[in-house]
Amino acid sequence: MRNKLKASLKISLLTFTMVSMFSCSKGPNDTGTQYAPQMYDDPSYEALKQADYNKVNPGRMNMRVPAKNTIPRGKLAYFNHIPKNDSLNQADALKNPFVANAQVLEEGQVLYERFCQHCHGAEGKGDGKVGVVFKGVANLQSDAIKAASMGHIYHVITNGKGRMMPHGSQVNPEERWKIALYVKNTLQGAGEQATEVNSEAATEASSSDGDNVQQSTGTPNSQ
């Protein structure tokens, strides 16, 4: 009896050792054996489900690609219907609805430091840590960009230009205008001129502009 018990223990130990060896020999990306898969891959379709067996939708995934030219709910203000390569013509006509006051400029500075400074540098000279490594970053202090309108800056933030990738999906329209205002007023020293331009824009901006919303205190009115 004792010999049988010892033999059983040896077999169990050998089995455990072999299982351990084989289970530890797989690659780091191996998820292992899935037990009771019906608890995870139930028959009902879920939008974010990664199981690749949907035989109805293209690509066999549950999520569908939105219909062409549709705009997500609440995202109408993200579009101004200006061609991406037209940053020096129609974009110049875009009006910044924000007035250059302390609150807006402070918010613009925070947004600039968060999204722009790593490339363009603290003073906008194109000498940020990324700009030093990847050449071709625009110098916002150059005469050419000083002469550009805030609409141009807004358009470039939205769609990108040259080596700059589009930031329209990361920075909403109001934040883009605040960055443009900070660049013009603080970094480029436009000061009074930009304030005057934006005071006029605040009265002219209307809902038909697509991207613009009127405001008078630094925070746009809800539509």
Residue 115 reports pLDDT greater than 90: yes
Higher pLDDT, 179 or 45: 179
Place domain 86-206 in its CATH homologous superfamily.
Cytochrome c-like domain (1.10.760.10)
How far from 213 is each of 17, 70, 92, CA to CA, in Å? 69, 21, 17
Mean pLDDT of the chain: 77
- Spans of all domains in the chain: 86-206
Q: What is the DSSP string of the chain?
A: -HHHHHHHHHHHHHHHHHHHHHHTSS-TT---PPSSGGGTS-SS--TT---S--SSSGGG-SSPPPPTT---TT-GGG-----TT-TTTGGGG--------HHHHHHHHHHHHHHTHHHH-TTSSS-SHHHHHSS----TTSHHHHHS-HHHHHHHHHH-BTTBPP-TTTS-HHHHHHHHHHIIIIIS--THHHHHHHHHHHHH--GGGSS----SSSSPPP-
| Residue partners of 106: CB distance under 8 A and separation at least 6 | none
Q: What is the pLDDT at residue 88?
A: 62
For 33-56, what is each residue's pLDDT tens digit? 777 777 776 677 777 776 666 777
Size of the chain in residues: 223
> If pLDDT is split at 50, 70 and 90, which confidence band does 19 have?
low
